[in-house]
Structure 1
Amino acid sequence: MAWDPVAELTDDERRSFGTYGAHWPYWEERLWRNVPGPFYTRENDNCWTGRIEAPDNVLYGGDHFTEYVFRQPRSPAEVRGLARAAAVEVTAGYACDGDVGWTPGLVREWWAARARSEEDLAAASAELAKSRDPQSVDAAAGVRQYRAYLGSGGLAADLRAYVFRLGEGRYPEVGERLPEL
């Protein structure tokens, strides 16, 4: 990935994120469930809209199934989806300034503690299996998607590329050596 997902945002889309022009403590309030990257959420009023707008990037978790970013966008279309998810989330719970908070060390710490995410996904799967409403069925599909991403090595590869970005100021080109997690 040689492009900057945040640079893909238009000015109107940037205004959808709670961190735009604000001095809120979003970074300190971020949910631990968010995967490292420029996009993340804090506690929000989940109206189950995030997956409607960004099904490949947003999932629900915790006691109130709040929205969080389980995969950073990989294309301009996914950036657009996250911007729409941010726009429809009524408490301005999405942020796009993760690059100022994440460090290579923090990404590695998050990765080292990934068993917490695996346990959380198992609990969410069990809870969602109790319901057959369309939103729960979709959320359960998202849990399976995240579990596959976590177990396939896809997330590890993406995080290695992100650690490269944090160190070099850009995503790696094909063939460049990636740092270890």
Structure 2
Amino acid sequence: MGPDASGDELYWDPIASVEAMFPFDENRLRPTPEHVFLGNWEDRNWRNVPGPFYGAMTDSCWVGRIYAPRHFLYGDDNDGDSEFLYRQPRDSDDLTAVLRGMQADPFSGWARDGDVHWTPALVREWWGNRNRLLEWIAEKQRHWIYGDEAEREAVSGLLDYRAYIDADLANDLRLYLYFLDNGNGPLPGVRLPDV
């Protein structure tokens, strides 16, 4: 999660920018945030990375990666591979791409209230269970590598998610933990909480 527009804070809070980003296309069936964000916390896909956005009872049409391939994946819930977010948006360009992918969901199963539900304890619990996620990634990769064109393309997302878990995700979660504890992002040099 990169710096905000001012270059000061190390965590960029995308929620303040959501309303200004709509509508992308007034002729779409879901032209406003109220039409897109109907997902419920209780229905969220456990694979979503902690943060403000999450997929909950999304479609299984596999459209998210068309708009934001470094953010969306699909995962084995509700008798289909529903969409989830494996990387939160880090800047306004990411947010635009992610919101376009969310707007394409015919079930309107996305939510933007993760900051209300995630607690430092839940973030740490999610991170502590990452081996379950890594096992799922490995299993899905073995299955999708021999699948149809869309499945083979999604393998690149699995590999990206795995690389993100191995490299930058822990630090991004530390920034998010700071944000949850303080209501704003940390400045450079501030000690971050452990994940």
Shift of 1:41: 0.5
Gaps of 5+ in 2: 4-8, 23-31
Residues 113 and 92 (structure 1), Cα distance of their counterparts in 2 relative to 1, 3 Å cut:
same
Would you say 1:129 and 2:135 are equivalent positions? Answer: no
Give the TM-score normalised by structure 1: 0.90
Pick aligned residue for 1:18 from 37, 61, 80: 37
| CA distance, structure 1, for counterparts of residue 35 and residue 91 of structure 2 | 18
| CA distance, structure 2, for counterparts of residue 171 and residue 15 of structure 1 | 26
Q: How does 1:118-157 map to 2 (within 5 A)?
A: 118-133=134-149, 135-152=150-167, 154-157=168-171
Shift of 1:7: 1.0
What are the Cα deviations for residues 101-152 of structure 1, in whole angstroms up to 9, with x where unaligned? Answer: 000010000011111110110111011112241x222200000000000111
Pick aligned residue for 1:167 from 162, 174, 181: 181
| CA distance, structure 2, for counterparts of residue 47 and residue 32 of structure 1 | 19
Gaps of 5+ in 1: none
| CA distance, structure 2, for counterparts of residue 168 and residue 105 of structure 1 | 15
Give the root-mean-square deviation of aligned CA atoms: 1.5
Pick aligned residue for 2:108 from 74, 92, 108: 92
Q: How does 1:72-91 map to 2 (within 5 A)?
A: 72-91=88-107
Q: Aligned residues, how many?
A: 174
Pick aligned residue for 1:103 from 119, 128, 133: 119
Percent identity over paired residues: 41
| CA distance, structure 1, for counterparts of residue 101 and residue 17 of structure 2 | 15
One-letter amino acid of the counterpart of residue 155, structure 1: L
Residues 125 and 87 (structure 1), Cα distance of their counterparts in 2 relative to 1, 3 Å cut:
same
